[in-house]
Amino acid sequence: MLAAYLATLFLITKLATATTEGKDERYTYNQMCVVEGKLTVLNGFDCREQVAVAKWRNSVNASGWTFLEVETYSKFNPELQAYAAGYLEGVLSRQVLRYHIQNAVEDYCKNFTQYCERMTSFLTENQKYIKEKINATPRDDVYWSAVNRTYHQLTGLIAGYEGREITPGITYEIHPIL
């Protein structure tokens, strides 16, 4: 019995140390491009109509860090740049985001249903307020235009994480990533 337990423990330890997850040595590059009039995510970093390019390295199990750099191109409107940046972040960091949701969010409301109902109600009302302010405020307002771009980026992040169709805009959804 003890021998079987030790053999299993040895095998699990060997498998755990053999994995390369979280030990990337090289960057992964993705880009969002306009291809034949449609926004598309491509591997690499070379296309003619590039909206954004992202560089990602997951070294969390080697260094304790993941690395993400995103660059957008000013020939596109700021909201599209923000959405594209978020979308690429969601695509590239999907596994790390999934781990975060599993570890910190999934069971958060377990045994706290009343609190979470109040929190969801507050967040929903807050989202309505933000939507109203973004829609009612002039586009040149520094603060609310920044909030607008932030929400475009968050919407892109959620869409990229979920693998959704690329549809720039704001969804105002309550998502575990938030």
Q: What is the pLDDT of residues 117-136, one digit of tens each?
A: 999 999 999 999 999 999 99
Q: How confident is the model at residue 18 (pLDDT cuts 50, 70, 90)?
A: low
The answer to whether residue 117 sits within a structural domain is: yes
Taking a C-beta distance cutoff of 8 angstroms, is the pair 149, 139 a contact? no
Task: Work out the burial of residue 160: count CB atoms within 10 Å of its CB; fewer than 13 is exposed, 13-18 middle, 19 or more buried.
Answer: buried
In a domain, 129, yes or no: yes
Q: Taking residues 19-41, report their average pLDDT.
A: 88
Residues 51-107 have pLDDT tens digits of: 999 999 999 988 999 999 999 999 999 999 999 999 999 999 999 999 999 998 888
Tokens of 14: 């060997």
Quick check: is 3 in a domain?
no
Q: What does the block give as tokens for 18?
A: 């053999």
169 found inside a domain: no
Q: Which residue has the higher pLDDT, 62 or 7?
A: 62
Domain assignment present for 147: yes
Q: Taking 50 as the threshold, does the pLDDT of residue 9 lie above it?
A: no
On whether residue 30 sits in a domain, the answer given is yes
Question: Domain holding 106: CATH number?
Answer: 1.10.439.20
Inside any domain, residue 100 = yes
Percent of the chain exceeding pLDDT 90 equals: 75
Residue 94 near residue 161, CB atoms below 8 Å? yes
Q: 6 lies in a domain?
A: no
Burial 1-25 (b: 16+ CB within 10 A, else e): eeeeeeeeeeeeeeeeeeeeebebe
Half-sphere exposure of residue 120: CA atoms within 13 angstroms, side-chain side: 12
Cα–Cα distance measured from residue 155 to residue 173, given in angstroms and rounded to the nearest whole number: 8
Indicate whether 11 pLDDT > 50: no
Write the burial class of residue 86 (CB in 10 Å: 0-12 exposed, 13-18 middle, 19+ buried).
buried
Q: Are 31 and 88 in contact (CB under 8 A)?
A: yes
For the chain, the domain total comes to 1
Domain range for 51:
20-162
